[in-house]
Amino acid sequence: MQTNFVSTFIVFSILGALDAGYLFFKHRSARPLICPVNHDCAVVTESRWSKTFGVRNDALGVFYYLGMLALVLGAIFMPSLGKGILWIIKVGSVIGLLFSLFLTYVQIVKIRDYCFYCVISAILTLLLFINSFALAF
């Protein structure tokens, strides 16, 4: 097992869960987002594009990142399932990247504004995608 790629995959998954979790928490608590670049992230996070099939994108993000974390930990602790789990991780990272690219397109073209936390999530999703193809169990 390549521990460097596994370690970074775990770190990216945790950072993504924290990022999406922050957005989820702020929305649920009805508290305003604090955007570090003097920008109103709510333009994006409260737009009509903030839900997919009726589920908030921040909740989907938490589910995605924690799911990826659970999968990589499953591959570590159940090495006999490693190859199958690795395939699921790769497919999941492709789906996550495609969804993230779509949401980035929506921010740029449809909303014409951006959310700092969404950009961070897109970067972390890209890093998970790249990292998933370097994993080997």
Q: What is the CATH number of the domain that holds 58?
A: 1.20.1440.130
Are 73 and 59 contacting, i.e. CB atoms less than 8 angstroms apart? no
10-25 average pLDDT score: 97
pLDDT at residue 137 in the model: 59
pLDDT at residue 30 in the model: 87
The answer to whether position 51 is within a domain reads yes
The answer to whether position 8 is within a domain reads yes
pLDDT at residue 6 in the model: 93
Q: How many CA atoms lie within 13 A of 117 on its CB side?
A: 26
* DSSP one-letter code for 133: T
Can you tell me the distance from the alpha carbon of 44 to that of 42, in angstroms, rounded to the nearest whole number? 5
The answer to whether position 124 is within a domain reads yes
In tens, the pLDDT along 19-72 reads 999 999 999 998 888 888 878 899 999 999 999 999 999 999 999 999 999 999
Query: How far from 73 is each of 7, 77, 78, 81, CA to CA, in Å?
Result: 10, 6, 8, 11
The answer to whether position 103 is within a domain reads yes
Nearest to 136 by CA among 11, 3, 13, 10: 3
Can you tell me the distance from the alpha carbon of 124 to that of 9, in angstroms, rounded to the nearest whole number? 10
Can you tell me the distance from the alpha carbon of 20 to that of 38, in angstroms, rounded to the nearest whole number? 19
Which domain range does residue 105 map to?
3-132
The answer to whether position 137 is within a domain reads no
Lowest-pLDDT choice from 7-21, 29-43, 66-80, 102-116: 29-43
Nearest to 57 by CA among 118, 120, 123, 111: 118
The answer to whether position 106 is within a domain reads yes
- Could you tell me which residues are beta bridge partners of residue 55? 52
The answer to whether position 62 is within a domain reads yes
The answer to whether position 118 is within a domain reads yes
How many domains would you assign to the chain?
Answer: 1
Provide the whole-model pTM: 0.93
